[in-house]
Amino acid sequence: MTLPLEPGFPPMEAEAVAAIPAGAAWQYEPKWDGFRCLAFRDGPTIELRSKSGQPLGRYFPDLVAALTEIVARRFVLDGEIVIPIDGRLSFEELQLRLHPAASRVRRLAAAHPARMMLFDLLVDEAGHDLTGRPLAARRAALEALMPRLASPALALSPATENPAEAQSWLDALCTGRDGVVAKRLDFPYRAGHRDGMVKVKRLRSADCVVGGFRYLAARRQVGSLLLGLYDDAGRLDHVGFTSTIAEPERGTLTTRLERLVAPPGFTGRAPGGPSRWSRTGRAADWQPLRPELVVEVRYDHVSGGRFRHGTTLLRWRPDKAPAQCRIEQIAH
């Protein structure tokens, strides 16, 4: 490639904060629940790279084809890959694309084509490096380029300078949008850094049954609680975990939990199933509990009826009956 930026160039990142910043210096954008991607085009050569610099083109041949067909012949775009299904964005469908079989990827792409939500232009069609220019100038250049990026697979991500509108995005329940990103309008593109860019996630809470626990690797004390919610058939499904247990409480809590050890713990979906992320056998090493304890946890993402990330333990709920902890709490 003859572009001024090479594939593997690290994208600008965001610092997590608790609230949307206010002031005339900020631009606000939705935070999309997808795969961050830098798209490089130099004539016939197209590269898609993840936030970590890994190639993504083999998993998204539909996007590569779309970028090949547009009028613009040279650029570096920053955006988020998403897959819309029935008017909602599916993170699960994105994960399915990470498959070694090209034939399977092609079938998935044909059934549910991906889109790229564009929010920054790093190299323009003339080959100029825009990363040293302020966001306000880069955004204007991206908007001017959009007619030459015309494709159903490419969309300009919304932006506003109104913090009240940004707050409405944060408050609205919308699958595929999980927060707000705020960027300083006067800042250049700080590759690999978090200067001038913050993110605010929409955090929610749920009351969950403690259906099991895992010991710490180094000693026989509780390391994490395994969380469950009841489905419509009355089965307790494993939905995630929390490991935010205060160190002074581990000993007493371990004794309390060990008194409740009894199979099966989870009567529906249980821990220990195959995981695309874990190649160890540790996922199967857990202790089942009688479903008597309830905790309230804070979470951010839900994928496939489970918490995608670890949750934060807020409090124990002795006032809540385990049977009241149902999957509807997280089925947005």
3-class DSSP assignment, residue 70: coil
Active site residue 31: yes
Residue 156: burial class (beta carbons within 10 Å; 0-12, 13-18, 19+):
middle
Put residue 258 in one of left, alpha, beta given phi > 0 → left and psi -120 to 50 → alpha.
alpha
With H, G, I as helix, E, B as strand and everything else as coil, classify residue 61.
Answer: helix
Tens digits of per-residue pLDDT, 5-19?
999 999 999 998 889
Tracing tokens 């206010």 back to the chain, one arrives at: 22
Q: What is the pLDDT of residue 173?
A: 59
Residue 274: what pLDDT?
A: 38
Bridge-based pairing of strands 45-49 and 35-42 is: antiparallel
pLDDT at 175: 62
Domains of the chain with CATH codes: 15-201 (3.30.470.30), 204-330 (2.40.50.140)
The pLDDT score that the predictor gives to residue 29 is 97
Residue written as tokens 């902890």? 325
Secondary structure of the chain: what % helix, strand, coil (to 5)?
Answer: 20, 35, 45
Positions in the chain whose pLDDT score sits under 70: 1, 173-175, 273-284, 332
* Whether the Cβ atoms of residue 20 and residue 180 lie closer than 8 Å to each other: yes
Residue 202: what pLDDT?
Answer: 79
The pLDDT, as a whole number, for residue 275 is 37
Tokens of 277: 């992320």
280: left (phi over 0), alpha (psi -120 to 50) or beta: beta
DSSP 236-285: EEEEEEE----GGGHHHHHHHHHTTB-S-S-SSS-TT---SS--SSGGG-
CA atoms within 13 A on the CB side of 159: 20
Tell me how long the chain is. Answer: 332
What confidence score (pLDDT) does residue 92 get? 84
**What would the pLDDT profile of 291-313 be if each residue is shown by its tens digit?**
999 999 999 888 888 998 899 99
Q: Give the largest Cα separation in the chain, rounded.
A: 69
Catalytic residue among 31, 199, 201, 320: 31
